[in-house]
A and B are shown apart, each in its own frame.
Chain A
Amino acid sequence: MGPFTRRTSAQLNLRRVDLARPFGVGLVVTAMLPLVILPMASVFIFGFSKGPLHFWDALTNPAALFSLRLSLWTSSIATLCNVVFGLIAAYVMSKYEFHGDSALMIMISLPTAIPTAVAGFALLLLWGRSGLLGQFLEQTDVRIMFTTAAIILANIFVTFPLAFGVIKPALDNLDVSYEDASEAIGATRWQTFRFVVLPSLRGAIITGALLTFARSIGEFGSTIMVSGNLAMKTQTAPLYIYSKFNEGDVEGANAIAAVLAVMSFAIFSLIIFFRNRLER
């Protein structure tokens, strides 16, 4: 037992009077109350305050359902794209050294540093009607801004580094001897990737996908800029909550907020579950 191992609670209990324990635990729980527990509870308390039927009505309102479907759809597409891009980018950054690779690394991680409203705004400036590239699209029938495509694009931008950030360390940690062995056995690089590397990345890919999806579902700042917030057309669930609240329809907002809260909670539980399995 060296100097740096953690003490078990049995060892801690050897101290006759340990005030730190109840005090510490109490402090954490107390802090959680106003910050996390109570706000979440309010969503459900108020949501059901007029009874479950009322809740159900607010939930099954066509605009509400549409917003949920749209959120699920755009988040799924964005997640798929970012996991694939993230995998490719992680492989390239992990395997190859080249001039400017640290600059590229910074660029890949950039979206997390940029405020989402700025991201949305930037996309508008690029693809909007008088935008840098958008002005050329004016000639054609192609319109990107204020469509579902815009939402997907914004989501891809802001969540890009997430899957990459999980997959790359997993790739870095993969023992190179597996790939050496595979090559010595006679496999091509693609075969090695498909049969040896990819299966080992399973956990990282799933975690990366869940992380991306969870973040994307809740995305607000960039979406509200590029989507136009048109009900039944480009209104995602977070936008729906915002709009309903602004209109004064608190119950409408409440119902969808509760759904999103439950969904996020479920996704993060899955992430933690998978993270623990990854530790094996």
Chain B
Amino acid sequence: MARQVMSILPENLSVVEREPDPHAPLCVRRLTKRFGDEQILDDVSFSVEEGESLALLGHSGSGKSTTLRLIVGLEALDGGEIYLHGRRVEHLRARDRNVGVIFQNYALFPRMNVVQNIGFGLRIRGVRRKKRAEVVERMLSLVGLGDQRDKYPWQLSGGQQQRVAIARALAYEPDVLLFDESFSALDPQTRVSLRREIRALLRRLRVPALFITHDQEEAMELGDQIAILNRGRLEQVGTPDEVYNDPQTEFVATFLGAANVIGGRAQGGAISIDLDRTLPVVGSLRQYVEGQDVKVVFRPEDVVLGAPSGLVETPYHIGRGEVVETSFAGASESLMVRLLTKGQSGMLQRLAAPARYQTGALQRSETPGGIVIKVLRTKWDARRLRLKAGDLVSVGLKTFKVLRD
């Protein structure tokens, strides 16, 4: 697995794996969970720092919900440790851990109104009525539901229900707040505005939070750090910038936004890509054996297109291409470009594409022969050089990443 990567952006050199700090508000170490023969979680470690939020991102079945359930204490782990503000809790029952959870369906108690729901955590802790009412009032104004206090859950909208769930969890001052894909049931507009609101609220209160999500946009917006989970293994943990611009594995590269992946080989101090072009490499080549296959990863917005005859004004020119299709999206233009290669005879020939080359996340080339990459241009670039299907272009890259094959 590619632990160290070479990148042409000098500030993003190798990311060193660090052992998470057990005194952080939330810290999990070497979490393991099996179900029968299936390994659901394998050696997962991460931490959430004070006042920070972490987004645990992955597909369904990647183990992220299981991780949440293990942290909350609704399920027992097979191996590993869980710390909350320095105390080991993996052997404690959920009710002794002092965590706040916002479930996917919010789980507001249907026979209690908003006030009673919010006050529940205090009531079972024996807090007296007067004190309880004070705290509930404070919570209501915090989430902006003062005028809904007597309503019952079925009378509230999804967004309101989630706010009640948050207030209910915050009322008893938990160590950490956990969100279990709680935005997935909302319509897109509410989702976006509620996300922003909650982000601001958590920042203000400096409550550490863990967001479980499968939506990479959500992860980027909510998380100070993002941890990407793939079939039970943690592929990378980092800031949104780090995981987007410096992905350590192909999975991370293709999960967060679209990515183009083409094959290459380490040869004579450079990376030779299968288009009879080479890309220079900054940094040490020692980690790659001569002749070793590597993957070259770049994002659609990293591609520059120019007139077929001229050189493209970027440092890395990878050859010529043919526009397959264009798609206008207001502020940007999305294109699919088939890369062409120069054959022995000097004529432009189409490359027979082996199956392992793929454009990330979105489309795969339907027609045989030729690697198709996805390109994203701003509308200004599109105006400067108008393109349509069938046009020839020269293709260059502003930046790229090299990963082990």
Using a CB–CB cutoff of 8 Å, the interface residues on chain A facing chain B are 175, 177-178, 180-188, 191, 195-196, 199-200, 202
Determine if A183 and B93 form an interchain contact, defined as CB atoms under 8 angstroms apart: yes
Determine if A180 and B74 form an interchain contact, defined as CB atoms under 8 angstroms apart: yes
Determine if A181 and B103 form an interchain contact, defined as CB atoms under 8 angstroms apart: yes
User: 25 A-B Cβ contacts within 8 A?
Assistant: A175-B107, A177-B103, A177-B104, A177-B105, A177-B107, A178-B109, A180-B74, A180-B107, A182-B120, A183-B73, A183-B74, A184-B72, A184-B73, A185-B100, A185-B120, A185-B168, A185-B172, A186-B95, A186-B96, A186-B98, A186-B124, A186-B172, A188-B95, A191-B124, A195-B112
Determine if A195 and B124 form an interchain contact, defined as CB atoms under 8 angstroms apart: yes
Determine if B107 and A183 form an interchain contact, defined as CB atoms under 8 angstroms apart: no
Nearest A residue (CB) for B120: A185
Determine if B120 and A184 form an interchain contact, defined as CB atoms under 8 angstroms apart: no
Other-chain contact of A200, B96, B110, B168, B169 (Cβ < 8 Å): B110
Inter-chain contacts of A199 with B (CB < 8 A): 109, 111-112
Question: Nearest chain A CB to B108's CB is how many angstroms away?
Answer: 8
How many chain B residues sit at the interface, stated as a range, is 20 to 34
- With A184-B100, A186-B125 given, can you name 4 additional A-B contacts, CB distance below 8 Å? A178-B110, A184-B95, A186-B124, A188-B124
Determine if A184 and B101 form an interchain contact, defined as CB atoms under 8 angstroms apart: yes
Inter-chain contacts of A187 with B (CB < 8 A): 95, 120, 124
Question: Nearest chain A CB to B170's CB is how many angstroms away?
Answer: 11
Determine if B107 and A178 form an interchain contact, defined as CB atoms under 8 angstroms apart: yes
Residue B94, interface by CB 8 Å: yes
Contact with A along B165-178 (1 / 0, CB 8 A): 00011001000000
Inter-chain contacts of A177 with B (CB < 8 A): 103-105, 107
Q: Is the interface of A mostly helix, strand, loop or mixed?
A: helix
Determine if B99 and A184 form an interchain contact, defined as CB atoms under 8 angstroms apart: yes
Inter-chain contacts of A191 with B (CB < 8 A): 124
Inter-chain contacts of B238 with A (CB < 8 A): none
Inter-chain contacts of A178 with B (CB < 8 A): 107, 109-110
Contact with A along B353-389 (1 / 0, CB 8 A): 0000000000000000000000000000000000000
Bound CA span A196–B108, Å: 10
Interface centre among B95, B105, B123 (most CB of A within 10 A): B95
In the complex with contacts A196-B109, A200-B110, A186-B103 CB distance below 8 A: no
Question: Nearest chain B CB to A191's CB is how many angstroms away?
Answer: 5
Nearest 8 A-B pairs (CB), nearest first? A181-B107, A199-B111, A177-B107, A184-B101, A185-B121, A186-B95, A183-B94, A187-B124
Question: Nearest chain B CB to A9's CB is how many angstroms away?
Answer: 30
In the complex with contacts A177-B105, A199-B111, A184-B124 CB distance below 8 A: no
Inter-chain contacts of B103 with A (CB < 8 A): 177, 180-181
Inter-chain contacts of B96 with A (CB < 8 A): 186
Determine if A175 and B120 form an interchain contact, defined as CB atoms under 8 angstroms apart: no
In the complex with contacts A186-B98, A186-B121, A186-B125, A175-B111 CB distance below 8 A: no
In the complex with contacts A177-B105, A196-B109, A185-B124 CB distance below 8 A: yes
Determine if B109 and A184 form an interchain contact, defined as CB atoms under 8 angstroms apart: no
In the complex with contacts A177-B103, A184-B95, A200-B111 CB distance below 8 A: yes
Inter-chain contacts of A180 with B (CB < 8 A): 72, 74, 94, 101, 103, 107
Bound CA span A178–B120, Å: 12
Contact with A along B230-255 (1 / 0, CB 8 A): 00000000000000000000000000
Bound CA span A177–B181, Å: 14
Nearest B residue (CB) for A280: B154
